[in-house]
Amino acid sequence: MEFTWMSRWQPHLLAILRIIVALLFIEHALIKLFGFPPAGQPGLQEVGTLLWIGGVIELVTGVLVLLGLLTRTAAFVAAGEMAVAYFMVHAPRGFYPAVNMGEGAILFCFVFLYIAAAGPGAWSIDGARTRGRAVR
């Protein structure tokens, strides 16, 4: 009944989740700021618009979470941005996430909130810095 053989890999799986989520988040930034990949929605944004600012937040927090640098703070900011995105863009289109297309935003929001609480897991700059301090 017990299914615990994976639990010894929890920090590494958290790091893999963190890296995957950050890379997907950066993809949203690249679509908005650089129009890459080309057919991505909502496409290249004008500098200074709300979606462009969203793209900047996604790029900065995405890179920080990816590297595991200032992970908790960056993830908290990203979670907040996704909550705003959900209620501004998706919630007006319909209550159900399957209809309003906001499923990704919800998942990003709660995963980042969890990372803000749990920290980066394995393989992070934060972790390397903390270990460095303990040696000194």
The verdict on whether omega for the bond into residue 38 sits within 30 degrees of 0, i.e. cis, is: no
Angle at 66 between CA 111 and CA 118, to 5 degrees: 40
Return the number of the residue (49 or 130) whose C-beta is nearest other proteins.
Answer: 130
Which residues of this protein are in contact with other proteins, per CB under 8 A?
Answer: 1, 3-4, 6-7, 9-10, 13-14, 16-17, 20-21, 24, 27-28, 31, 37, 39-41, 70, 72-73, 76, 94-99, 103-104, 106-108, 110-111, 113-114, 116-119
Return the number of the residue (48 or 95) whose C-beta is nearest other proteins.
Answer: 95
Helix 71-85 to helix 50-67 angle (10° resolution) is 150
